[in-house]
């Protein structure tokens, strides 16, 4: 279950600017909230999360970043159940684990050790599965933290920026 509070602290930016600057960028992590992983109602891990909820955020994701600290991630808030197919690793410099989360806030699939700078294989989930979030974390963290498909749930708290 995720809770969002609207705020206007973050200044909107022009997405074309990022495309023009390309590899000269090093984008810093901006904490929007906290995400808790639970197994059987016990908290197994808390991480800081940057939220990708605007079109520009979802399009850029973790592109142009050379580092993501261990206890951090980027949570993609998807508008529809097919939007997960647009996520890719183009211009992402770090290997990641992708955590797919359904409408019941349950981890339903883990795509582990995804290599940077290449297209990812699109997973075709059954039509009955509704992907609500994708969480990107450093490669290997899903194993280290004990995240398990069908068992691990999330709870998150965010201050949404316009």
Residues 6+ apart with CB under 8 A from 5: 158, 159, 160
Cβ atoms within 10 Å, residue 55: 10
Q: Which CATH superfamily is domain 2-10+31-161 in?
A: Protein of unknown function DUF192 (2.60.120.1140)
Q: In the 8-state DSSP scheme, what is residue 16?
A: H
Count the neighbouring beta carbons within 10 Å of the beta carbon of residue 47: 22
Phi, psi of 69 (to 5 degrees): -60, 155
pLDDT tens profile 98-131: 999 999 999 999 999 998 887 777 778 888 888 9
Over residues 16-71, the pLDDT tens digits come to 444 445 556 667 888 999 999 999 999 999 999 999 988 888 888 898 888 999 99
What residue spans define the domains of the chain? 2-10+31-161
pTM, to two decimals: 0.81
Residues composing the chain? 162
Alpha-carbon distance values, 5 to 77, 105, 114 (Å): 14, 18, 32
């Amino acid at each position: 279950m995720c809770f969002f509070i609207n705020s206007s602290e973050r200044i909107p930016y022009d997405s074309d600017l990022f495309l023009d600057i390309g590899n000269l960028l090093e984008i810093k992590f901006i904490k929007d909230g906290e995400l808790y992983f639970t197994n059987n109602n016990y908290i197994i891990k808390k991480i800081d999360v940057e939220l990708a909820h605007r079109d520009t955020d979802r399009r850029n994701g973790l592109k142009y970043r050379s580092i993501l600290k261990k206890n951090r991630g980027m949570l993609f808030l998807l508008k529809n159940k097919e939007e997960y197919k647009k996520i890719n690793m183009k211009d992402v410099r770090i290997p990641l684990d992708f955590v797919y989360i359904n409408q019941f806030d349950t981890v339903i699939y883990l795509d582990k050790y995804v290599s940077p700078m290449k297209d990812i294989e699109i997973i075709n989930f059954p039509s009955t599965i509704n992907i609500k979030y994708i969480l990107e974390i450093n490669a290997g963290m899903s194993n280290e933290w004990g995240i398990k498909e069908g068992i691990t749930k999330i709870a998150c708290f965010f201050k949404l920026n316009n």
